[in-house]
Structure formats: structure tokens, C-alpha cells
A and B are shown apart, each in its own frame.
Chain A
Amino acid sequence: MALRAGTRQSAISRLERDEVSPTIETMELLLNAMGETLEFGPVPMERNYDPFHRKSMGERSPEERLALAVSWNRTAGRVREAGRKAGAGRGR
């Protein structure tokens, strides 16, 4: 690999041992030496929400959003508690 890429074996070893972080140019050089190429570009992060819901929340004021958040968290907690009690009741 070092011979093909025109670098030293010690340089490859340092990369393999995670002692140095390769530049994009080095990465490309090493990949090219293996017959591969480097693709580089922005990709959206994983989105785990409903974009329409997100948009409608964005249109509310921060005061409304905080008030809703407090209410939803309280409701979710009460539902969780009720579920726990129901589960405990079934276990008796």
C-alpha cells in the first residue's frame, strides 16, 4: 500500500493506529491506490420527526410552544403512571 501510494509504511501505520487523522488528500491518495475514489458531500442528518408537525410548531410563538411542552410532558407522565398502575393491578 505504501509503495503504491508513494508514502512510507510508517505513515500508514500511524493512520492505522489512529495516531493521526488523514487529510482529504491523503484519504483520496490511499483509496486511489486501492482502485477506489472518495465521494465527499453533505447528506441530510437522519430525521426522526414529522416535518409538517415541525413546521406547524415553528409557526407558534415560543410562549405557546413552552406551554404546550409543559402540558404534553405532564400528560405523558400521567398516562405513563396510569399504565404502570394498570400493569401492577393485572399482576396481582
Chain B
Amino acid sequence: MVDEPVLDAERIFRVLQEFEVEYVLIGGIAVQTHGHVRMTNDADLIPAPDPGNLARLADALNSMDAKVLDPGHETEAITASMLPRSTIWQFTTRDGNIDVMLEVPGGREFEQLSRDAVRISLGDVAIPVVGLDDLVRMKLARGRKVDLEDVAALTDE
């Protein structure tokens, strides 16, 4: 069994910024940012789907020594052309696991998600976190127990 790396999301965000990757952060860290504390061991993001951005994302992932986790694809090279071949890719990197999602149930177009994202600064790193309404919508569409628990907490204002 491969040891799971410790998630250092700040380093991941910094690398994404250095490579000028356009993305929106979703998943557990977005849930935490919107006020519900629960642990997560990966960073989930939706990248802008244009080829140039996917090439920058592939470069950023490779700079973090990323490897594909998806069964059957472990040895696949991470490139701009491989990313659109699946709606979700799971990577392990030296700074933690990253899920890249090109399509998410309940998710709107990237431009809309990005427009309504909350821009948050962590030191000198800017992180676009998905807006609360979009996050709730995605969680409801996914519908697992953990997603509905997240919705219960996120809507408790």
C-alpha cells in the first residue's frame, strides 16, 4: 500500500498560482472555508477547461511530482491532452492528493463558477473558493451521506 502524503494545501495553492493555473477550489477545503470544520485529505479543484490552462495545470502537477492514482492509469504521463479524457482525475503529489474535476454533478460552467467564487488570500497566495450556493448545489447533486451532512452544516447560518 502506498503511503498517503500529508496534505499541505498551502503549498499546492502556491504552485498553482506560480504556474498561473485558473481554477476554482471545491470539496472539503471549500466546505471548511465556508464554516463547517471537518477534516479532508485532498484538494479538489475544477480547472478552466481551455487547453492553455490545462497545459499550465499539467506543468504544475508535474512540478509537484504528481502521479495518477486512478486504477489502470498509474503510469500515464500527465499532459494537457490527457486531462480532458476523464471528468475526474485523482493525483498524488508530494504535497498531498489532488482531485481534478472537469465536470461535477450540479456544477455550472467554469465561467459562472469562477465569477461567483470567493477570492481568499492566504498570505501572498490568492485562492478562488467556490461560492456557497454553488457548493451546496454540488453537494445536493452528489447526494452521499457526507454531502448531505455538509449541506446541513453549511446552511446552518
A26 → chain B, closest Cβ, in Å?
A: 25
Q: Judge whether A66 is part of the interface by a CB distance below 8 angstroms.
A: yes
A67 → chain B, closest Cβ, in Å?
A: 6
B92 → chain A, closest Cβ, in Å?
A: 13
Q: In the complex, which of the residues A45, A78, A81 has the most CB atoms of chain B within 10 Å of its own CB atom?
A: A45
Q: Give the A-B contact count at a CB cut-off of 8 A.
A: 98
Is B149 a contact of A72 with CB atoms below 8 Å? no
Residues of A within 8 A of B41 (CB): 73, 76-77, 80
Q: Judge whether A1 is part of the interface by a CB distance below 8 angstroms.
A: no
Give the complex CA separation of A69 and B9 in angstroms: 9
Is B129 a contact of A44 with CB atoms below 8 Å? no
Give the complex CA separation of A66 and B34 in angstroms: 8
The digit string for A28-66, where 1 denotes a CB below 8 A from any CB of B, is 000000000000000011111101011001101011011
Residues of B within 8 A of A54 (CB): 35-37, 153, 156
Is A74 a contact of B7 with CB atoms below 8 Å? yes
Binding site secondary structure of chain A: helix
Is A70 a contact of B9 with CB atoms below 8 Å? yes
Give the complex CA separation of A62 and B30 in angstroms: 10
Q: Judge whether A84 is part of the interface by a CB distance below 8 angstroms.
A: yes
Is A46 a contact of B152 with CB atoms below 8 Å? yes
Asked if A48 meets B122 with Cβ closer than 8 Å, knowing A57-B36, A69-B32, the reply is no
A85 → chain B, closest Cβ, in Å?
A: 9
Residues of B within 8 A of A60 (CB): 35
Give the complex CA separation of A78 and B8 in angstroms: 10
Interface residues of B in 126-157 (CB under 8 A from A): 127, 129, 148-149, 151-153, 156-157
Is A73 a contact of B122 with CB atoms below 8 Å? no
Is B120 a contact of A63 with CB atoms below 8 Å? yes
Give the complex CA separation of A55 and B153 in angstroms: 10
Identify which of B7, B122, B156 contacts A66 (C-beta below 8 A).
B122
Is B152 a contact of A69 with CB atoms below 8 Å? no
Residue of B with least CB distance to A55: B156
A88 → chain B, closest Cβ, in Å?
A: 10
B99 → chain A, closest Cβ, in Å?
A: 14
B104 → chain A, closest Cβ, in Å?
A: 20
